Amino acid sequence: MSGPWHDATGTARLLGLRIDTSGERPTVSMHVTQDHTNRHGNMHGGLISTVLDTAMGATASLERGEGGKIPFSTLSMTVNFIAPMPLGTITATARILGGGFKTVFVEGEARDEAGTLIAQSTGTFKRAPL
């Protein structure tokens, strides 16, 4: 896909996030290495939150922002950590729960390679001004 999701920028590039917009919903995945772990050897919760935030923002932008042409910014976000994320690949997806033109409510979930639910999130996202 061309446009804002074609090339990773900023944080997505730094962390090696892969954003796939070819399916029904965007998916964001990341290969978790030792560089991404906390003192327990699992993926740091802040990075899990970043993967979820990216998936939810991409979903809002692609579904409500003219196919990704208009970005959405996070107004608020809550994350519930369900299980530790070991080394491997984490994948996050999201869906829009409701909202209107300017404000969208989104729910996301992140899973490991085996399909185990790692974290669940909800967020409120605001359409960027034109």
**For residues 28-41, average pLDDT:** 96
Is residue 40's pLDDT more than 50? yes
| Closest alpha carbon to 30 in 73, 87, 71, 100 | 87
Tokens of 92: 């996050």
Distance separating alpha carbons of residues 97 and 104, to the nearest angstrom: 8
Is residue 61's pLDDT more than 60? yes
Integer-rounded Cα Rg, in Å, for the chain is 14
Q: What is the residue extent of each domain of the chain?
A: 10-127
Residues 14, 75 contacting (CB under 8 angstroms): no
Tokens of 72: 């959405």
Distance separating alpha carbons of residues 95 and 105, to the nearest angstrom: 9
Distance separating alpha carbons of residues 123 and 109, to the nearest angstrom: 11
Token pair 């939810």 is at which residue? 56
pLDDT tens digits along 114-126 = 999 999 999 999 9
Is residue 1's pLDDT more than 50? no
Q: Which fold has domain 10-127?
A: Thiol Ester Dehydrase; Chain A (3.10.129)
**For residues 88-98, average pLDDT:** 98
Tokens of 89: 């690949």
What's the pTM value of the predicted model, to 2 decimals?
Answer: 0.92
